[in-house]
Copies of this chain bind each other. A is one copy, B any other.
Amino acid sequence: MIFVMSNEATQQQLDAVVGKIKSFGLDVNISRGTERTVVGAIGDETKLDQSLFTVLPGVEQFMRIVKPYKIVAREGHLESTVIDISGVPLGGKQIQVIGGPCSVETQAQMDESAEYVVQAGCRLMRGGAFKPRSSPYSFQGKGVEGLTLFRNAADKQGLPIVTELMDIRMLDTFLEYDVDVIQIGTRNMQNFDLLKAVGGINKPIILKRGMSATISEWLMAAEYIAASGNHKIIFCERGIRTFETHYRNVLDVTAIPVLKKETHLPVIVDPSHAGGKAWMVPALSRAALAAGADGLLIEMHPCPREAWCDADQALNPHELKSLMGELKGIAEAVGRTI
């Protein structure tokens, strides 16, 4: 860590900073410039809490030198990680599209959905049994019954399932139902106790980006999971909150190459929640793959206009199949398969 002293800092104030650094067992480099004196801490900077220094009189600025995330960082782990999802590889040359409805509704709806997902060429299925809704008066998901319906439908087609965990007390139930991939939603990206809990199991985790989470906070949220022992983490970009009101969120495609550089873990994109409208999904899906995403999470409903939630953002089965065809060309253009 580097500290810049203000131009009015006294020798005594400088000594206090130096003393504090040394009290943590680190060494010090002092550089006296023409306008400012700069103090560099030499050693393991993770031992230093920046606020203990910025509180000292005379300290004007600081800069962290080393990245605060270790396990998820590509530094020291150059090869990209491929995560095995019950036999389906994510993060390698083959792109994975996870299709399925927003929410589990009925056995028939899930059975049909699973068939269409397979017909479109997807190898993984999504569906929500527990739904985070802005209003307490909206449909909150079928709950445990939904897990049963989903498991039944997916098993008939041999599809691994992806579903969201909201309540830490339901984790055991998720394990009983052998949920193949547990999704942590955007509103829970910094629900640290939940992160620690899924860090203690041996299942792949999709970690959605918080609505206004920085890349750095997102990596640190993943580090929470990793530090608890589970390294099977998949980042999912789903649009960020900005000033723009014409669409629900702004899909941050820049995050894709940046994450691929910062971490060895796979990165997927949810174009359905990003734009919030079905007609935007094809363009955003193409852009995501063109930018280097390892997969997509796409909402499809057998009959969108009868969906119990987010009806206007789901593709119908025909649209999903047609999109999979389009994506083939993009995948090839970036040297991948789908």
When chains A and B are docked, how far (Å) is the Cα of A252 from the Cα of B41? 35
Contact of A65 among B36, B212, B240, B326 (CB under 8 A): B36
Chain B neighbourhood of A228, CB < 8 A: 136
In the complex, residue of chain B having the shortest beta-carbon distance to the beta carbon of A288: B287
Chain B neighbourhood of A15, CB < 8 A: none
Q: How many copies does the complex hold?
A: 4
Contact B55 A246 (CB under 8 A): no
Q: Is the interface of A mostly helix, strand, loop or mixed?
A: mixed
Contact of A311 among B45, B49, B307 (CB under 8 A): B49
Contact B258 A252 (CB under 8 A): no
Contact A283 B257 (CB under 8 A): yes
Per-residue interface assignment for chain A, residues 257 to 299, with 1 indicating a CB less than 8 Å from any chain B CB and 0 otherwise: 1100100000000000011011110011011111110000000
In the complex, residue of chain B having the shortest beta-carbon distance to the beta carbon of A301: B55
A182 interface hit (Cβ, 8 Å): no
Contact A166 B192 (CB under 8 A): yes
A334 interface hit (Cβ, 8 Å): yes
Q: Which residues of A contact B (CB under 8 A)?
A: 2, 4, 7, 29, 31-36, 38, 40-46, 49, 51-52, 54-56, 61, 63, 65-66, 68, 75, 132-138, 140, 166-169, 187-188, 190-193, 196, 211-212, 214-217, 220, 223-224, 227-228, 239-247, 250-258, 261, 274-275, 277-280, 283-284, 286-292, 304-305, 307-313, 326, 329-330, 332-334
